[in-house]
Amino acid sequence: MQVEEIFARAKLVPVVVIDDAANAARLADAMVAGELPVAEVTFRTAAAPDAIRAMSQNSEMVVGAGTVLSVAQAEQALEAGAEFIVSPGLADDVVEYCQGRGVRVFPGATSATEMTAAISRGLSVVKFFPAEANGGAAAIKAYSGPFGQLRFMPTGGISERNLHEYLSLSQVLAVGGSWMVPQRAIAEGDFTTIEGLCRDAVSLANSLRKD
């Protein structure tokens, strides 16, 4: 199954910010138990490569790297076991590197120029970030007219309160968010809470969109 199919089935892509890789394995276990075995581990912390490596040891998890800004970071992520790469913007060198490696890459695109560039590079899915600050679901709906061949992964400012606005759009492949994997709960080792939040998020997403 391709990464895009996994995203579409999950409807959600948890965005994980982790400060200590020692918590990563138990985080993966909690997410699997919460029926949300997908994670975008952001390169905002030095622990990211080791966290990806640890989470990837769980055979039920699909783990990728987020906030990837350079080829060097993409190399680190893939070496650690990342199965996909997400960037906040459209970086040509990162896209080219990932495509050369046969790895799915989802760069950020929030303008017509960036979306046109993404299509010219053979991409069919882009991140829309930060979603709420760039017009939210209404903007995605508007862009979907001229860019009907693109699907979007909106991230940024999305929670259980406005999730319905995004999952109601067929152009949205999946929604990125961190409310089900709060950084503080990870740091405190509160994996029971994370398991419950993941399960609740999955239940909500499934109730909002039946694919």
Catalytic residue among 40, 132, 165, 195: 40
How far lies 95's CA from each of 29, 101, 102, 117, 142, in Å?
31, 10, 10, 11, 25
Helix 92-101 vs helix 71-80: crossing angle, to nearest 10? 30
- Tell me, yes or no, if 40 is annotated catalytic: yes
Q: Could you give the CA distance from residue 105 to residue 95 in angstroms, rounded to a whole number? A: 6
Q: Could you give the CA distance from residue 169 to residue 165 in angstroms, rounded to a whole number? A: 7
What tokens were used for 178?
């961190």
Catalytic residue among 11, 83, 127, 132: 127
Catalytic site residues? Answer: 40, 127
